[in-house]
């Protein structure tokens, strides 16, 4: 079946027979989905007093959950399956743990949403109902993730059509067509809308249905730029032969492709059986290739784990979080185990725990000296145990900010050893005192504790027990307070429990005095934390020395205490000096977190990226601030043509006339010499086309490609106020593919926007 016929069938099925969940391929007749379609009563939990029964069911479109509110049907509440981030069985949310009894554990489940929407805590009537809800939702989510780009696009269009079809008669009159066009971000005048309608209404019935809707879809999604590219290379009876495709891959995509590669792409993406048999690729197959993995801007060879993971920990950039417990700002925002879960599921490998004495002898975590809420240390460790290795199997570092009494420190050590079990590293690897840190590969599946230690690591080998029971206290919370007040206080001594001290193996916290002092006195397993201003000063004024320090020791950087809104600093400056643990507020969206997500996008999203050789080898004298000849200097000329965008989302769904005026900005981040920015003109009211086009060229000179990052940002132009964010995508320069490439667009929170893409042409040349 061709892609065109497939869409026609899908469109008609979706608009005429929505009751069938057959659009979830492979799930036809599934008992869980049938149960969800009938629906059931669930108790929604908000607090100890607010627990109300509501009826939930999967709507006929197979992609929307509807909730009856028992308010005379004044307002029905719905949410799309696409909005769901995860579904978790049991009392895994803060709310369910706080407001429900353990006796209902097997009837509880939570729905967690993307972005900042609050999770939904529910209790089913029976254990079996809970299992069916969780199983059914997970199956639909998995099925939707497996859709290819074209299928997601079709699904989005169809769902918009259904929303516009107010009377649900599976037909679209002129008024509904105009409503639909606004929903898909397309503002047109009445004359143009009428022309489009009449062109498709071949039956002259005054409504569109069946194949007329398919024709309407074709007109909307027609991409002239794809026609031009395809026609240029389709030299065999109007179609691309395997040889034509190979020619395209080698000339335009600049790939070292073989005939076998071309044939594999035809087998994989060509929907027409006849063309596939003839080893040809139709335009549908060509578009399928361009919108899939091989046609995306991110090099497929870099998607999975591709770097050497057997080098010392010091040789890697490590995805790291600051104040991990916070969901919002650091003055009065809520603390939550959910914040740890979200960070770990984003492959964060270093999380922070600010530990304080709590009631009933139980240590708690919160931001000291503030009004942020508190969470039990024990509950955080349980969440870490559950989620540490779901996104990446490489080691997780627990960065302890310890303000607890000795007794509660002992309980912290007990909770970590008893809950984390064999995952917690409690002894050094090997039988000799280390001269360098182990590798991520050697520490796979292990959780490391970073904190104060009473003695050197030698004690772990010779069972030496020293008399010392206190260490100098250096904590970020106190420093932050001093910074706000502009004061300096003498360093205090703090009592440290031996049980907690002994759990610190490879990440012993020490004070940084100078590079010379570190060279003479600091062991490889001892590491310093630098507040952002100190690190920035060293990175700008002693970059080479800092880089050499980071070849042998770990450095952790944390945001200034004055950032009460939990904003972030630019991590690129710190990475340029070889700092490994560059901690950011994961709960705060923005350019800095986009850069962090882009930095750790390749290498299987493992949370570890191997630093370039010139940042690992002491023979090199690299200075990011003054580019001199060396292994790092690999000058490249980057040509980017921003061609078009597809299916940009509405920014304000409540406003019917809220149409975007999009423009694209391309930013280069890296060493100071490489930082640059260019942007397209904006398109007024998205033009009269579904896919806005720019066809604008930009050129950038890149001196140190190994450290360069490229960020594509799409914004809505506003002459009167700040431009609104639409979507972005950031990746390392060295992970980009040449040629015609699609770029998926991400939300502020880093989630993929269904169907929204940029289409560009990339060409990297040597001077």
Q: Does the annotation flag 492 for ligand binding?
A: no
Q: Does the annotation flag 127 for ligand binding?
A: no
Residue 300 inside a domain? The answer is: no
Mean pLDDT within 462-469: 64
Q: Does the annotation flag 52 for ligand binding?
A: yes
Mean pLDDT within 143-166: 68
CA pair distance 766, 745, nearest whole angstrom: 29
Residue 153 — pLDDT band, cuts 50, 70, 90?
low
Percentage with pLDDT > 90 across the chain? 67
> What pLDDT shows up at residue 282?
96
Examine the domain organization and report whether 254 and 204 are in the same domain: no
Examine the domain organization and report whether 701 and 749 are in the same domain: yes
> What pLDDT shows up at residue 482?
57
Q: Which of 145, 175, 209 is the last residue of a domain?
A: 145
> What pLDDT shows up at residue 392?
98
Q: Does the annotation flag 295 for ligand binding?
A: no
CA pair distance 111, 65, nearest whole angstrom: 12
Which residue pairs from 354-361 have beta carbons closer than 8 angstroms and sit at least 24 positions apart in sequence? 354/323, 354/325, 354/401, 354/403, 354/477, 355/400, 355/401, 355/402, 355/403, 355/404, 355/408, 355/412, 356/403, 356/404, 357/403, 357/404, 357/405, 357/408, 358/408, 361/407, 361/408, 361/411
Residue 629 inside a domain? The answer is: no
Q: Does the annotation flag 427 for ligand binding?
A: no
> Is residue 6 predicted with pLDDT exceeding 90?
no
Q: Does the annotation flag 70 for ligand binding?
A: yes
> What pLDDT shows up at residue 458?
87
> Is residue 478 predicted with pLDDT exceeding 60?
no
Mean pLDDT within 415-433: 96
> What pLDDT shows up at residue 12?
43
> What pLDDT shows up at residue 275?
95
Q: Does the annotation flag 509 for ligand binding?
A: no
> What pLDDT shows up at residue 154?
66
Q: Does the annotation flag 100 for ligand binding?
A: no
> Is residue 356 predicted with pLDDT exceeding 50?
yes
Q: Does the annotation flag 66 for ligand binding?
A: yes
> What pLDDT shows up at residue 17?
39
Q: Does the annotation flag 302 for ligand binding?
A: no
Say how many domains are in the chain: 5
Q: Does the annotation flag 46 for ligand binding?
A: yes
> What pLDDT shows up at residue 370?
81
Residue 622 inside a domain? The answer is: no
- Sequential DSSP letters for 55-108: EEEE-TTSSEEEEE-SSTTS--EEEEGGGEEEEEESS-SHHHHHHS-GGGGGGE
> What pLDDT shows up at residue 487?
61
Q: Does the annotation flag 352 for ligand binding?
A: yes
> What pLDDT shows up at residue 138?
93
Examine the domain organization and report whether 608 and 586 are in the same domain: yes
Please give the residue that has the higher pLDDT: either 483 or 458.
458
> What pLDDT shows up at residue 3?
37
Examine the domain organization and report whether 239 and 97 are in the same domain: no
Residue 4 inside a domain? The answer is: no
Among the ranges given (66-75, 560-569, 571-580, 722-731), the one the predictor scored with the smallest mean pLDDT: 66-75
Examine the domain organization and report whether 291 and 387 are in the same domain: no
Examine the domain organization and report whether 383 and 527 are in the same domain: yes
**pLDDT tens for each residue of 485-518:** 566 656 678 899 999 999 999 999 999 999 999 9
Among the listed residues 24, 155, 280, 367, the single catalytic one is 367
Extract the tokens encoding 382: 């349980």
| Residues facing 80 on adjacent strands | 64
Residue 259 — pLDDT band, cuts 50, 70, 90?
very high
Q: Does the annotation flag 316 for ligand binding?
A: no
Q: Does the annotation flag 179 for ligand binding?
A: no
Q: Does the annotation flag 54 for ligand binding?
A: yes
Examine the domain organization and report whether 215 and 256 are in the same domain: no
Q: Does the annotation flag 282 for ligand binding?
A: no
Helix (H) or strand (E) holding 16: helix 3-16
Examine the domain organization and report whether 603 and 706 are in the same domain: no
**Tokens 């007040």 -> residue:** 485
Backbone angles phi, psi at 636, to 5 degrees: -130, 150
Residue 57 inside a domain? The answer is: yes
CA-based nearest residue to 45, from 104, 103, 95: 95
Q: CATH number, domain at 32?
A: 2.30.29.30
> What pLDDT shows up at residue 10?
44
Q: Which of 145, 179, 201 is the last residue of a domain?
A: 145
SS3 700: strand
Residue 334 inside a domain? The answer is: yes
> Is residue 746 predicted with pLDDT exceeding 70?
yes
pTM: 0.87
Examine the domain organization and report whether 217 and 231 are in the same domain: no
Residue 73 — pLDDT band, cuts 50, 70, 90?
very low
Q: Does the annotation flag 61 for ligand binding?
A: yes
Annotation marks residue 517 as catalytic? no
Q: Which of 173, 194, 221 is the last residue of a domain?
A: 221
Residue 474 — pLDDT band, cuts 50, 70, 90?
low
Q: Does the annotation flag 267 for ligand binding?
A: no
> Which residues 6+ apart lie within 8 Å of 577 measured at CB?
535, 538, 539, 543, 546, 547, 550, 624
Do the bridges between strand 581-584 and strand 555-558 make them parallel or antiparallel, or are there none, so unpaired?
parallel
> What pLDDT shows up at residue 7?
41
Do the bridges between strand 350-356 and strand 396-402 make them parallel or antiparallel, or are there none, so unpaired?
parallel
Among the listed residues 302, 322, 548, 742, the single catalytic one is 322
Annotation marks residue 215 as catalytic? no
Examine the domain organization and report whether 559 and 700 are in the same domain: no
> Which residues 6+ apart lie within 8 Å of 645 measured at CB?
662, 664, 691, 692, 714, 745, 756, 757, 758, 759
Q: Does the annotation flag 531 for ligand binding?
A: no
Please give the residue that has the higher pLDDT: either 563 or 216.
563
Extract the tokens encoding 743: 């770029």
> What pLDDT shows up at residue 553?
97
> Which residues 6+ apart lie within 8 Å of 218 measured at CB?
4
Examine the domain organization and report whether 673 and 694 are in the same domain: yes
Mean pLDDT, the chain, integer: 88
> Is residue 107 predicted with pLDDT exceeding 60?
yes
Q: Does the annotation flag 48 for ligand binding?
A: yes
Q: Does the annotation flag 450 for ligand binding?
A: yes
Among the ranges given (202-211, 234-243, 567-576), the one the predictor scored with the smallest mean pLDDT: 202-211
Examine the domain organization and report whether 502 and 559 are in the same domain: yes
Q: Does the annotation flag 71 for ligand binding?
A: yes
Q: Does the annotation flag 51 for ligand binding?
A: yes
Residue 538 inside a domain? The answer is: yes
**pLDDT tens for each residue of 663-705:** 999 999 999 999 999 999 999 865 445 679 999 999 999 999 9
Percentage with pLDDT > 70 across the chain? 86
> What pLDDT shows up at residue 144?
80
Residue 425 inside a domain? The answer is: yes
Q: CATH number, domain at 277?
A: 1.10.238.10
Distances (CA, A) of 196 to 134, 160, 205, 684: 43, 17, 15, 20
Residue 187 — pLDDT band, cuts 50, 70, 90?
low
**pLDDT tens for each residue of 377-404:** 999 999 999 999 999 999 999 999 999 9
Among the ranges given (175-184, 328-337, 362-371, 417-426), the one the predictor scored with the smallest mean pLDDT: 175-184
Cα dihedral 26, 30, 34, 37, rounded to 10, equals -30
CA pair distance 518, 512, nearest whole angstrom: 7
Name the residue range of residue 172's domain: 165-221
Q: How many helices (H) and strands (E) does the chain have?
A: 24, 30
Please give the residue that has the higher pLDDT: either 117 or 601.
601
Mean pLDDT within 463-473: 65
> Is residue 464 predicted with pLDDT exceeding 70?
no
* Side-by-side strand order, sheet with 84-89: 77-80, 64-68, 51-58, 40-45, 120-124, 108-113, 84-89
Contact present, 314 and 546 (Cβ < 8 Å): no
> Is residue 646 predicted with pLDDT exceeding 80?
yes
| Residues facing 54 on adjacent strands | 42
Mean pLDDT within 22-31: 64
Q: Does the annotation flag 717 for ligand binding?
A: yes
> What pLDDT shows up at residue 355?
97
């Amino acid at each position: 079946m061709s892609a065109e016929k497939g869409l026609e069938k899908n469109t008609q099925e979706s608009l005429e027979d929505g009751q069938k969940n057959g659009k979830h391929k492979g799930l036809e007749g599934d008992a869980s989905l049938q149960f969800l379609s009938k629906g059931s009563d669930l108790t929604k939990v908000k607090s100890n007093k607010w627990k109300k029964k509501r009826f939930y069911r999967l709507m006929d479109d197979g992609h929307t959950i509807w909730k009856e509110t028992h308010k005379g049907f004044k307002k029905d509440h719905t949410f799309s399956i696409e909005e769901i981030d995860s579904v978790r069985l049991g009392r895994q949310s803060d709310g369910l743990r706080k407001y429900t009894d353990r006796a209902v554990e097997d009837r509880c489940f939570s729905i967690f949403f993307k972005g900042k929407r609050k999770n939904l805590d529910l209790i089913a009537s029976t254990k079996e109902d809970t299992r069916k809800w969780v199983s059914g939702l997970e199956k639909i989510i998995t099925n939707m993730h497996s859709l290819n780009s074209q299928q997601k696009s079709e699904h989005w269009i169809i769902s918009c059509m259904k929303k516009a079809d107010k009377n649900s008669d599976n037909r679209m009159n002129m008024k509904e067509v105009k409503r639909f066009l606004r929903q898909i971000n397309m503002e047109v005048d009445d004359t143009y809308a009428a022309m489009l309608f009449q062109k498709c209404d071949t039956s002259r019935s005054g409504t569109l249905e069946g194949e007329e809707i398919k024709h309407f879809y074709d007109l909307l999604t027609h991409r002239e730029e794809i026609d031009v590219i395809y026609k240029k290379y389709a030299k065999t009876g109007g179609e691309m032969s395997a040889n034509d495709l190979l020619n395209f891959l080698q000339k335009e995509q600049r790939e070292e492709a073989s005939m076998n590669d071309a044939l594999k792409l035809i087998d994989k993406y060509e929907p027409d059986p006849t063309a596939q048999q003839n080893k040809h690729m139709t335009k549908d197959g060509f578009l399928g290739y361009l919108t899939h993995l091989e046609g995306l801007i991110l090099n497929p060879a870099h998607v999975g784990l591709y770097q050497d993971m057997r080098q010392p920990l010091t040789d890697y950039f490590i995805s790291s979080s600051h104040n991990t417990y916070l969901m919002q700002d650091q003055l009065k925002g809520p603390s939550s185990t959910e914040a740890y879960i979200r960070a770990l599921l984003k492959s964060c490998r270093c999380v922070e725990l600010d530990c304080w004495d709590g009631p009933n002898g139980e240590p708690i975590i919160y931001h000291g000296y503030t009004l942020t809420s508190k969470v039990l240390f024990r509950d955080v460790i349980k969440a870490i145990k559950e989620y540490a290795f779901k996104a990446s199997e490489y080691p997780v570092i627990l960065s302890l900010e310890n303000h607890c009494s000795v007794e509660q420190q002992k309980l912290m050590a007990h909770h970590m050893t008893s809950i984390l079990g064999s995952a917690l590293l409690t002894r050094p690897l090997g039988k000799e005192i280390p001269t360098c840190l182990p590798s991520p590969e050697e520490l796979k599946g292990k959780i490391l504790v970073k904190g104060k230690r009473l003695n050197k690591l030698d004690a772990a080998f010779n069972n030496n027990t020293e008399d010392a029971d206190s260490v100098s206290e250096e904590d970020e919370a106190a420093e932050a307070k001093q910074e706000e007040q502009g004061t300096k206080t003498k360093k205090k001594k703090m009592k440290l429990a031996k049980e907690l001290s002994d759990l610190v193996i490879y990440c012993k916290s020490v004070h940084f005095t100078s590079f010379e002092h570190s060279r003479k006195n600091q062991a490889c397993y001892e590491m310093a934390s630098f507040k952002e201003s100190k690190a920035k000063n060293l990175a700008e004024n002693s970059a080479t020395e800092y880089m050499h320090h980071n070849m042998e020791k770990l450095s952790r950087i944390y945001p200034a205490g004055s950032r009460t809104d939990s904003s972030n600093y630019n991590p690129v400056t710190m990475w340029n000096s070889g700092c490994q643990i560059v901690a950011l507020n994961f709960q705060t969206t923005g350019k800095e977190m986009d850069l962090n997500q882009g930095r750790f996008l390749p290498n299987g999203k493992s949370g570890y990226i191997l630093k370039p050789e010139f940042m690992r080898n002491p023979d090199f004298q690299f200075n990011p601030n003054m580019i001199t000849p060396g292994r790092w200097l690999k000058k490249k000329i980057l040509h980017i043509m921003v061609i078009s965008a597809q299916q940009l989302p509405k920014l304000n769904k409540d406003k019917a006339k809220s149409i975007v005026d999009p423009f694209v900005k391309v930013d280069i981040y890296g060493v100071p010499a490489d930082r640059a920015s260019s942007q397209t003109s904006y398109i007024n009211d998205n033009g009269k086309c579904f896919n806005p086009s720019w066809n604008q060229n930009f050129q950038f000179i890149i001196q140190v490609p190994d450290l360069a990052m490229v960020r594509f940002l799409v914004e809505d132009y506003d002459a009167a106020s700040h431009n609104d964010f639409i979507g972005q995508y950031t990746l390392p320069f060295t992970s980009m593919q040449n040629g015609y490439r699609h770029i998926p667009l991400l939300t502020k929170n880093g989630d993929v926007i269904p169907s929204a893409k940029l289409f560009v042409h990339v060409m990297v040349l040597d001077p």
